[in-house]
Amino acid sequence: MGAVQQDEITLVNLYTSNIGSPKYIKKKLLEEIKGEIGSNTIIVGDFNTPLSPLEKSSKQKISKETSILNDSLDQMELIDIFRTFHPKATEYTFFSSAHGSFSKIDHILGHRQSLFKFKKIEIISSIFSDHNGIKL
């Protein structure tokens, strides 16, 4: 818990492994911390999964598990803040040298009601890591 501009916020950092991440995120959010998530909650982290086709350079379809996760996020009124501000952007936060592909697997989710609190969000490039940061 903390405060930003006199508004109390709860920041949740979520990291998932490469395998089964949509199911893991859904389980964490729906079963373990659902009661703790409110309009002042911001969920950040390395989800290890793109949430939309725009978030992958390979333009493959989104998996069934990710579609189910997106439905769950929608039911909880959680939105991808970056995607809301940049609906058509093809900026990425991760480069896989093994696959030669880019993706946006790092996310900042917030409650739909809190969107007015954010003025801008951007991806910051990094030369020291295979992940780029996201700045609110």
Please list, in sequence order, all residues whose beta carbon lies within 8 angstroms of the beta carbon of residue 94, skipping any fewer than 6 positions away: 102, 103, 104, 105, 106, 130, 131, 132
Identify which has the larger pLDDT, 136 or 20: 20
Supply the pLDDT for residue 101.
84
What domain range is 101 assigned to? 2-135
Q: Three-class SS of residue 89?
A: coil
Q: Which residue has the tokens 């002042």?
A: 40
Query: What percent of the chain is modeled with pLDDT above 90?
Result: 24
Distance (Å, rounded) from C-alpha 30 to C-alpha 52? 20
Q: Which residue has the tokens 């373990």?
A: 32
46 has binding-site annotation: yes
Q: Which residue has the tokens 């609190």?
A: 117
Identify which has the larger pLDDT, 34 or 86: 86
Q: Say if residue 1's pLDDT is above 70.
A: no
Q: What value does the mean pLDDT of the chain take?
A: 85
Distance (Å, rounded) from C-alpha 42 to C-alpha 85? 16
Q: How far apart are the first and last CA of the chain?
A: 18
DSSP code of 83? H
Q: Say if residue 92's pLDDT is above 70.
A: yes
Q: Which of 80-84, 92-96, 122-126 has the lowest mean pLDDT?
A: 122-126
Domains identified in the chain, total number: 1
Distance (Å, rounded) from C-alpha 27 to C-alpha 11? 18
71 has binding-site annotation: no
Q: Say if residue 4's pLDDT is above 90.
A: no
What CATH code is carried by the domain that includes residue 107? 3.60.10.10
Most confident range, picked from 78-82, 92-96, 120-124? 78-82
107 has binding-site annotation: no
130 has binding-site annotation: yes
Q: Say if residue 6's pLDDT is above 80.
A: no
Contact between 107 and 80 (Cβ < 8 Å): yes
